[in-house]
Structure formats: C-alpha cells, structure tokens
Chain A
Amino acid sequence: MTGTTVVVADDSVILRDGLVALLNRRGYEVLAAVGDGDSLVAEVERLTAAGTAPAVAVVDIRMPPTFTDEGLRAARELRTRFPGTGVLLFSQYIETRYATELLAQRDGGGVGYLLKDRVADVSEFLEALDRIADGSTVLDPEVVQQLMGAPRAEDGLARLTPREREVLELMAEGRSNGAISRELYLSAGAVEKNVTAIFAKLSLPPDAGDHRRVLAVLRFLRG
C-alpha cells in the first residue's frame, strides 16, 4: 500500500464519493474532497501551510460556478503556487487544447490528463496517479492518439520512424524506458537507441536526460 496523499475535486457527488472510497480501500490517504475549483485551491493552501501538502490532486475540469474550464484554471493555479502537488485533470471529454495548455507551463512537477472512464481499469488508473505523484507526465491514450493523428508540418517529427513515434507516444503518456520496453516488447538497449534517435531528430541538446525527455514530449504535443 502506498499511502500517497490525495485531494479530490469533483462536483458529482456519486463520482467523488466513489473515488474517495476506492482510494481509501487501496491504501491512499484522501486528505480532502471538494466540489469546486476555489475550495480545491483553498484546501491545498491549507494543507500545504499545515505541512501536509498532498502528493496529487485529482481535478474535474468542469465544475461550478461556470461549468466550463474551472478545473483547468484551478489546476494552473495549483501548478504555479504549489509545485509540490501533482495535478491529474480528470474529465468526461478530451480536448487536446487543455492538454497542451496544462503542459505548456510544465515545471518539473507531475501533471496528467485522463478521461474519467479510465478509472474503470482500477490498477492502471492508480498506477497513473502514482506516476503523477512521482512527478511524471501522464496523458490519456486518446489525447496522444489525437495528436498523433494530426501530424503538424514539423520537420523533426516528420522524420521519425514509426517505431520512434511509438516510443515518443509512450513517453508522452509518461512511461519510463522500462515500461516502454515491456509495452513494445523491445530490449532496454533498443528503447534507449530509439530515445537517442528521437532526441537527435528533434535537435535536443544532450544535457540533463530527463529535461530532454520533457522537451521531446512538448515538441511532439505542440506539433
């Protein structure tokens, strides 16, 4: 059991209660569950001041009072003010623009964007939550698919081989090299080779490895 601390913000009581119950059963510690963006920011502020900053906030995009992108705005504020707390945007629908907006201000902390349906595959969902708590990026396969389906007129990306694109796609979902090698049935060395080739084709400087990874994903997402 992980004991990861979580705050949940969702205006649907059924879903919020269900999620809290699930997280508790799976050994997560739910510090707060709220129904709108302002209360979320207030709770995280309070918890951080008390020295118990949550590891990750699960945030519904559409909440009162505007029922448009409340959650996204709250998420941006959290990322700016409390970089120690990872943010998982959790929504009934996927809009790639939200994903790119969230990633644009990426600053080392964990962020994610998942369809609510993904919670149906409980273990996978919790794994994603853990990765965000650890500071990784997690994107819904549908976001990735949409972005892959819309190749931009970007030379570097266009020159990637299908295998390299696959690897980059999984990187965008926040997977580690180890996870990528298991997923694609490749050896660790082969994954490493692909990743290096991606960096080279996207002309990313060979400094801190993790930093380049983020840049590659960002390049890929912005097209």
Chain B
Amino acid sequence: MLGDTAGWRALAYLAAAFPLALISAAASVGFLASGLGGLTHWVWSRWLPLQAAGDGSLHRGLSLGGLFFDTVAGQLSLAAVGVVLLFVWPWVNHGFADVFRLLVGELLGLTPGARRLRDLEVSRGRSVEDADARLRRIERDLHDGTQARLVAVAMQLGEARELLGSGVAANGRGDSSGPSGPDGSGGPAGLTGESVAGGEAPRPTAVANARALVELAHAAVKGTAVELREIVRNIHPPVLDDGLEVALESLASRVPLPVRVHVELRVRPSPAIETMLYFCAAELLTNVVKHGGATHATVTLEPHGRGLRLRVQDDGTGGAQVWSPDETGRRSGLVGLAERVRPVDGRLELHSPAGGPTVATVTLPGPVA
C-alpha cells in the first residue's frame, strides 16, 4: 500500500487543493465585492452615518487614513478603482483555475511514463494500420497492372500457339474447335530439327522450333499467373474487401472438410484487424487439416469485452502444440500466428489434450474498430 504511487499522488492533491480552494474562494469574492462596492460608493455612501474627521468636519462613507472620499473627485476615483477591480476579477479567477489545472495535471494525470506508453500504443496501432494499407495498395497495383498484363500476354501467346498449329489437343482437354494451323499436327512440344509439315512452308524446322518456343513460353506464363495469384492471395485476399464474414466463409469453402462459420460482429473491425483475423483463421484451419485427423471444424468469431474472440474448434485427435518446430527446425505456423496478433496485444490459447478435441482461441482485447 505504501508503494501505491497513484494513492500518494491523490493524497498530495487533496492536501494542496483544500487550502488553495479556500484562498481562491475568498479572493474571488473579495475582488467582486470590492469592485461593485467601489463603483457604487457614491450612491450608497449617503445613507451611512456621519463621521467626524480629524479637523472636526463631518463626512459620510469610506475613509482611508483619515481621508474621506465624499468629494466629487473622491467619488470618481473610488468608482474608477471599482471598475479596475471588476475588470481584473475574471483574470483572478482564471489564474486560480490555472493553478488548479496544474495541480490536477501533475498529481492526478498521467505520469510521464504512462503518457509515453499511451503515445506508443497509439503510434503502434497506426503503424499496424499503415502496414495493412500498404499491402492493400500493393495488391491493387499487382491486380491492375502485373496480373492484367500477364493475362494479356498469355492470351496472345495462346493465340500464337494456335496459329502455329498445335491446337488445343496438346493441352489434353476439350474438343478442338479452334482453327487448324498451317500443318494441323498436334505433336508434343520439343525442339527438333526434323521437318514437321509437308513441304509447303519454306522453313518447316524454323516453324516447328518457333512453335515449341511459343508452347514453352505459353506454359511458363500460365504457371507464372497461377503463382502470382497465390502470392497476391497471401498479401491481401481480395475477398476481404467484402467483409470478414464473406471472407471467412470463402476461406472455409476451400478447406477439404466441412467447416461451420459463425460470425457475430457489433461493429465492422478496422481493415488491419480484419486481415489479422482472416490469416489467423486460415492458419488455424490449415493446422486442423494438417494434424488434427478431424472430420468437422467450427469457426466462431464473436465480441469479447471491448475486443473480439476467434475460436477454431475441431473434432480431431488433439495433441497440438504452439511450439512445435518441424524437422528443419523452423518455427510452427502457430508461433507465427501468436506473433501476428501481438502488435494489438492479442493472445493465442491452445487447448488440445491428447485424444482431442482441439480448441484454439485468439483473443484481441480491443478496441478493434
């Protein structure tokens, strides 16, 4: 109890505030009363009893060291003093208020350490949001630029490939309704020195080689497009723009076991929190599929205090661990998950007794909006 800094500071505040309150009240009332009194002295002094001055003359009203103010000049000067006092009165009040503010700020407000902590929290939250916004921008740029160009190139190569005559048969599916090329042969791609078509084309070898090259380029571009799409999905899944519920449902539909999704949100979380929760759910579901031996899983997202709680539950065999480095010594995905939520003070709890079921809970204390 003696170490209770806040308590001692509050006590010091009380000790200082009480006398200060008395003094400020007296001063404020004093200034107001004297100001009004001085200003109106010429009116009310006439009803005061007569007093004798040192020289025997009789006067009414205020006297200061034997000097009376019942002359015209005297009354005017008293009124002037009254005006000055009334003018100064608000400043007196402001002055005392400032002293009080200082007292409250120093003794009841945040200590420098606490203030620094609050600033750090604010700037940390801002950098989490900034990072998320930057990733979204990258995703948008890739989508509008690189991916679109890649598809356009793939389309041109695809057309070139068909014009050169390999048709779609080489692709192994669909019926060939495309135009047959100069020679119509659908042989496997490969750089050969042999003649492919009948002697009409001037340089059949060159055509065959060109076709093989186009074939390779076409396959490479298609592969690249698939890779790029996966990369983009890992940067920022576009479906998140439609809200967390849609995104989680879409996520659940890619998991090779039945997943029930239940989402209850009072307010839409900030984009960064949405991204964070999405990737947490993705990681936890991956884990369910990888280790759990589960046949069903449930994803629940609901309010928890000022924050949110994400829970992924499965009916697998249990025994999951947060810290389980694989044979290459790399950290497990769950460690990464715990790190992912740390910038917002999130916590991962894993309850996975041998024999199951496994319940993984991610709690974000909030606020999350």
Contacts and interface: CB of A to CB of B under 8 A. Distances in A.
A130 B249 CA distance: 32
Interface residues of B, number: 49
B5 to A, nearest CB: 51
Given A92-B147, A93-B238, A150 B175 contact: no
Nearest to A101: B246
Interface in B81-129: none
Contact of A12 (B148, B162, B242): B148
Interface in A150-187: 150-153, 179, 182-183
A183 B156 CA distance: 26
A121 B168 contact: yes
Interface in B238-259: 238-239, 241-242, 246, 249-250, 252-259
Contacts of B347: none
A93 B232 contact: yes
A123 B175 CA distance: 9
A100 B157 CA distance: 32
A206 interface: no
Contact of B155 (A92, A120, A127, A150): A120
A124 B246 contact: no
**Which residue among B158, B175, B241 has the maximum number of chain A CB atoms within 10 Å of its CB?**
B158
A183 B144 contact: no
Contacts, number: 119
B229 A92 contact: yes
The range of chain A's interface size is: 35 or more
B58 interface: no
Contacts of A122: 155, 158-159, 162, 168, 178
Given A67-B140, A147-B253, A15 B148 contact: yes
Nearest to A27: B179
B148 A120 contact: no
Given A124-B173, A147-B253, A182-B175, A18 B152 contact: yes
Given A121-B171, A124-B173, A183-B173, A14 B239 contact: no
B304 interface: no
A179 B222 contact: no
B168 to A, nearest CB: 5
A93 B151 contact: no
B233 A93 contact: yes
B155 to A, nearest CB: 5
Contact of A123 (B151, B174, B249): B174
Interface in B148-184: 148-149, 151-152, 154-159, 162, 167-168, 171, 173-178
Nearest to B249: A97
Interface string A25-69: 100000000000000000000000000000000000010000111
Contact of B174 (A69, A96, A97, A124): A124
Given A149-B256, A150-B254, 6 more contacts: A62-B143, A92-B143, A93-B232, A115-B229, A122-B162, A123-B176
Interface of B: 140, 143-144, 147-149, 151-152, 154-159, 162, 167-168, 171, 173-178, 218, 221-222, 225-226, 229, 232-233, 237-239, 241-242, 246, 249-250, 252-259, 296
